[in-house]
Structure 1
Amino acid sequence: MIATKIRALASRISFWFYALAVTLFLMLGVYTFRAAETLTSVDTFLWALPSGATGLIFALYGLHVVYSRSRLQGDPDAVDRIRLRRQSRLVLLAFLAFAGSAISVGGLYLREITETIRDQRFAQASTIAGLKAQQVEKWLFERSVEAETAAASIASLQGQASDSDRAQMTELLFAEWRARNPERRSAWLLAPDRRVLAFAGRAPEPEEIEPTLAAVRESGGAMRIVEMPGRNPATLRLAFIVPILDPATKQMRAVLSVRVDPALTLFKQLDETSSASPGEAVMLVRREGDDAVLVKAPPEAPVKAGQHISLKDKDRPAVQAVLQGNGVREGVDTIGTPVFSASHAIEGLPWFVVVRAPRAELSEPAWQSMSSMGLHIAGSVVVAGLMLFVLWATQRADMASLKARHLEERAAIAKHFEQMVQGARDSVILADPAGRIVEVNPAAMAAYGYSPEEIRKLTVRDLRADAARKDLEAQWKLSDSVKGAVYETTHQRKDGSTFPVEVSNNAVVVNDRTYRQAYVRDITQRKALETELHRIARVQEALQAANSLLLRAKTEDDLYSGMCDAIVKIGGYRMAIVVMANDDVAQTTRVAAFVGPYGGPMQRRDVTWGSGEGSEGVVGTAIRTGRVQVNQNIAVNTRVARWREEMLGEGVQSYIGLPLHVDGRVIGALTIYSEMPYAFDAAELRFLTQLADDVSYGVSALRAHKVSSAALP
């Protein structure tokens, strides 16, 4: 009575402690999901899932344990094992629920910090892109002013000197102007009729004059800035084209084209300007047809200026800039590294400034901020784990008692097994209800090649060959019957080799538990004998068919073809061929009949029956010597080296050459091919020799009948 009251009191206390734990987890879960609602990204809810999922599983399983405690009935040992497993699972789930809640809180905090930093860096990148664009526009404005100033100076010379003097003065002006700024690569003064009035630096090519004049005409007399490719595709020149007008008539008297290299100052200024991060890079891009073209590539990048990028690569920052214009977006760089970029259009040119930085910069500061909080969370989890470990340690007494009962059970099983099967010649295996191997006899260890410790770690499935495992469940259930089950299957040894077995499986009850006791017999020799008998039976059947053919054949060709057909289709061989010896100087052969999966032998002309090359094989030797020739293993026989690869490729492993004797001489050979090495044993050789003798007799009879028929009037 007192023990019953104590157990009831312990149950109530454990229930209220469980209810308190569930309440705390629910409160923490509500806080976590409310915190997730304040964030905008979808994956923030994934951070909330560890807390919700582990807390829910803990609550549901705890309810199951509490309300099913009084319903456990049956064997006391089984009930104790069930209770112990449930308590261990409940402790583990409590720890996982706490750890999941800690992970959710830390993850949501990390996500919030990451999004804040992301927004700040996007705004910063957009500002930098705008400043870089202003820097480019300022540079363009300054060069435009310089070009217009030079044009005004040249215009003032038009009415003050002769043509030759004006040309000299202009070239002097050009030389002085270029010397002051190295980025001014060349200057041309062109007449409307395509004449070159003066130049400094590289002289204009004839094909460059008309596009320059056309640019002025299209601008309606205003200055134009035109992008001109250099001789090197990676070299860029900007042409500042200014028309020089007659003050009186307003007609165009000349055109000034100044070519400037922006890489000397502008591009360096863009790269040297301080950036928000060491990984940030600046590039200039423009659109050309269906491509984005790099006007300026990032320093130390694998891509170079002038490289084209297809607009189909919409994750590339350059493509995003020319397609979407100003803005900040995420993508990947040339080598596939995730990046974010900001782009800004440039006034006066169809260019975009793109500021690119690694996407890792968005998360690294957050992880650094999270390190201290992570230490606190990890410490809390460790403390909770230690507390739960103390709780788990109180169950060790029950576990020790349960283990003692298991040892007693195992001792009873071992004694029973040892008395019955230790001396058996067949393999005997005892498996528990789950299929785990409990005991085996010495014959089983010898048959499978495992030590006692190794084989007790396996299941009955592990002893089966891969192809035979699909039948295990059905055959396992058959042993539940009173008479047990007897079936054949294939097992495998430790070294991976397989062998056929006959299994006699019965159910054995030990200490109220149902085990399976299997007697396993190796039937390799029996299967080999069955195979040999089946093969001999097929040869005999082919021999009977051949004898019947002797009575029906009207011609030698009918006899040869029928024999080959019977050998392959009835005898089960790979191929059969009848080769006849030609009575010529070269001692060649011809194919009289062939049945098989490929037609190679029908086209072969390199087999002879003399003593030269091509006669060393089985066919030539059988015709030349008049004796049966056998090649039991083509893969290692050097006599067939010239035909080995062809025959192995067609599945031939061995073959036999049987000479055909007619009127005391050899007229040819019957050759039979097999898919197995060493296929022709003594018994089969006798049957096949008899078959060749029958063919020889049939040929003799057909020839005699032909002679006698010809002699009749």
Structure 2
Amino acid sequence: MVNEFGDLDNITSDLKDLLLDLTSDSIFLHDQEGNFIYINQAAYKTRGYTKDELMDLNLYDLNVPEFTECIKSCINDLMEKGEIIFESAHFRKDGSVMPVEIHSRIIEYEYQNLVLCSVRDISLRKKAEKALSRELEVNSDLTKLSRKLLESVPIEDISDMVLEYAQKFTQSKFGFVGYIDPETGYLISPTMTRNIWTECHVKDKSVIFEKFGGMWGWVLNNKKSLLTNHPKDDSRATGTPSGHIDIETFLAVPALVDENLVGIISLANSDKYDKQDLEVIERLSNLYAIAITRKHSDESIKKSEEKYRRIVEKFLKVSNEIIIEISKKE
């Protein structure tokens, strides 16, 4: 049957191409060696290629190397079962990676067993899964820290734990944690002797800071958090002293109790800090503030106990001397 547009078979073929190009999923038809026979518009556009560029590639050129063996195994399963669904990852033309879910099935075409794949970009799903996994991990670690606060753990050990979790949560290379001495107002950082100590070559460095300088000083003086991925261009930066670690990215959060400054968590040199990093460190700083407050409270109680102990001892001594004098007179 023929009409003014040509034969019906061609019209049907054009219509199929149009319909496949309208779908947001990528459609691939390839042989068992991975050579492409057909791709739809989404397949090449979402990966940054022209149609001809992608057709010149092989399935294995698209797949991220870590999934190569998985793909081979999946094709063997596909040959056996006829249809499978699995996850993989494709390279885009610019080198970025697209996580994908692939629904593959065997079809027979011109006496060949070909592989028809419907491929869905699952970047948003993976991002959500990663965020959920991180949130669960953060909550678990914060719970562990909270339990430590219920124990009589020295503030030095709590500070070490806080820094460990802070660096872990944000993938920070360097950092320090410190608390304010309520009597002197100085910042004391028991964690300063960890990895940052050997890397920093500032002359006469100390774990006690009488004055607050640089970006971490701005955080303490203003009682506000600071996040910057370009510290050299930040107006709050005052430069670093000779021998100091080069600061590439920076994140610091004050530990506050009712607007009273009690400490700080300061981090540096993650690849890039974001809003999620800031939020989790602020949660961590709240727990650290509780730990510092408890330390100050315990120290205050000990001082009070010591004061009353001396008063009682003095009273008992005087009483004993009076009794002795009375005994002598009798």
Could you tell me which of 203, 216, 219 is aligned with 1:622? 219
Distance 1:601 1:542, change over 3 A: farther
Contact 1:450 1:494 in 2 (8 A): yes
Distance 1:512 1:415, change over 3 A: farther
2:76 aligns with: 477
Residue ranges of structure 1 left out of the alignment (5+ in a row): 1-410
Contact 2:25 2:43 in 1 (8 A): yes
Contact 1:632 1:680 in 2 (8 A): no
Contact 2:252 2:264 in 1 (8 A): yes
Where 1:479 maps in the other structure, the secondary structure is helix
Does residue 33 of structure 2 align to residue 440 of structure 1?
Answer: no
Residue ranges of structure 2 left out of the alignment (5+ in a row): 1-9, 310-330
1:209 aligns with: none
Question: After superposition, what is the alpha-carbon deviation per residue over 1:466-515, rounded to whole angstroms, capped at 9, x for unaligned?
Answer: 44434432222222133522222221122333221111121110121111
Give the whole-Å Cα distance in 1 for the aligned partners of 2:115 and 2:242: 51
Contact 2:227 2:273 in 1 (8 A): no
2:282 aligns with: 689
1:708 aligns with: 301
1:457 aligns with: 56
TM-score normalised by length of structure 1: 0.36
2:86 aligns with: 487
Letter of the structure 2 residue corresponding to residue 620 of structure 1: G
Where 1:578 maps in the other structure, the secondary structure is strand
Letter of the structure 1 residue corresponding to residue 24 of structure 2: R
Distance 1:508 1:416, change over 3 A: farther
1:561-600 counterparts in 2 under 5 A? 561-568=160-167, 574-580=173-179, 589-594=187-192, 597-600=195-198
* Cα shift at 1:430: 0.6
Identity %, equivalent residues: 16
Question: After superposition, what is the alpha-carbon deviation per residue over 1:244-295, rounded to whole angstroms, capped at 9, x for unaligned?
Answer: xxxxxxxxxxxxxxxxxxxxxxxxxxxxxxxxxxxxxxxxxxxxxxxxxxxx
Distance 1:598 1:477, change over 3 A: farther
Contact 1:575 1:595 in 2 (8 A): no
Give the whole-Å Cα distance in 2 for the aligned partners of 1:532 and 1:634: 26
Give the whole-Å Cα distance in 1 for the aligned partners of 2:169 and 2:79: 43
1:131-150 counterparts in 2 under 5 A? none
Give the whole-Å Cα distance in 1 for the aligned partners of 2:182 and 2:70: 61
1:285-304 counterparts in 2 under 5 A? none
Does residue 22 of structure 2 align to residue 423 of structure 1?
Answer: yes
Letter of the structure 1 residue corresponding to residue 254 of structure 2: P
Give the whole-Å Cα distance in 2 for the aligned partners of 1:640 and 1:509: 70
Letter of the structure 1 residue corresponding to residue 107 of structure 2: V
Distance 1:515 1:657, change over 3 A: same
* Cα shift at 1:670: 1.8
Distance 1:505 1:581, change over 3 A: same
Distance 1:693 1:583, change over 3 A: closer
Question: After superposition, what is the alpha-carbon deviation per residue over 1:632-685, rounded to whole angstroms, capped at 9, x for unaligned?
Answer: 45576572753899756xxx864422223468642431224463303343xx53
Question: After superposition, what is the alpha-carbon deviation per residue over 1:97-139, rounded to whole angstroms, capped at 9, x for unaligned?
Answer: xxxxxxxxxxxxxxxxxxxxxxxxxxxxxxxxxxxxxxxxxxx
Letter of the structure 1 residue corresponding to residue 85 of structure 2: V
Letter of the structure 1 residue corresponding to residue 151 of structure 2: R
Could you tell me which of 241, 249, 255 is aligned with 1:660? 255
Letter of the structure 2 residue corresponding to residue 550 of structure 1: L
Distance 1:637 1:539, change over 3 A: farther
Bigger shift: residues 432-441 or 567-576: 567-576
2:152 aligns with: 553
Give the whole-Å Cα distance in 2 for the aligned partners of 1:431 and 1:518: 8
Give the whole-Å Cα distance in 1 for the aligned partners of 2:150 and 2:119: 51
Give the whole-Å Cα distance in 2 for the aligned partners of 1:701 and 1:523: 46
1:42-81 counterparts in 2 under 5 A? none
Does residue 96 of structure 2 align to residue 501 of structure 1?
Answer: no
* Cα shift at 1:548: 0.9
Letter of the structure 1 residue corresponding to residue 240 of structure 2: R
Letter of the structure 1 residue corresponding to residue 255 of structure 2: L
Letter of the structure 2 residue corresponding to residue 656 of structure 1: L
Question: After superposition, what is the alpha-carbon deviation per residue over 1:28-53, rounded to whole angstroms, capped at 9, x for unaligned?
Answer: xxxxxxxxxxxxxxxxxxxxxxxxxx
Residue correspondences, number: 294
Letter of the structure 1 residue corresponding to residue 227 of structure 2: V
Give the whole-Å Cα distance in 1 for the aligned partners of 2:170 and 2:95: 33
Give the whole-Å Cα distance in 1 for the aligned partners of 2:279 and 2:261: 19
Where 2:264 maps in the other structure, the secondary structure is strand
Letter of the structure 2 residue corresponding to residue 514 of structure 1: N
Give the whole-Å Cα distance in 1 for the aligned partners of 2:222 and 2:24: 52
Give the whole-Å Cα distance in 2 for the aligned partners of 1:482 and 1:554: 58
Contact 2:200 2:245 in 1 (8 A): no
Does residue 124 of structure 2 align to residue 525 of structure 1?
Answer: yes
Q: Give the aligned CA root-mean-square deviation in angstroms.
A: 3.9
Give the whole-Å Cα distance in 1 for the aligned partners of 2:161 and 2:295: 14
1:670 aligns with: 265
Give the whole-Å Cα distance in 1 for the aligned partners of 2:17 and 2:288: 63
1:679 aligns with: 274
Larger Rg computed on CA atoms: 1
1:5-24 counterparts in 2 under 5 A? none
Where 1:458 maps in the other structure, the secondary structure is coil
Distance 1:494 1:696, change over 3 A: closer
Give the whole-Å Cα distance in 1 for the aligned partners of 2:176 and 2:260: 19
Where 1:599 maps in the other structure, the secondary structure is helix
Letter of the structure 2 residue corresponding to residue 599 of structure 1: W
Contact 2:107 2:113 in 1 (8 A): yes
2:319 aligns with: none
Q: Which has the higher contact order (CA 8 A, sep 6+)?
A: 2
1:631 aligns with: 228
Letter of the structure 2 residue corresponding to residue 623 of structure 1: L
Distance 1:687 1:469, change over 3 A: closer
1:292-371 counterparts in 2 under 5 A? none
Could you tell me which of 129, 139, 142 is aligned with 1:540? 139
Give the whole-Å Cα distance in 2 for the aligned partners of 1:546 and 1:685: 18
1:511 aligns with: 110
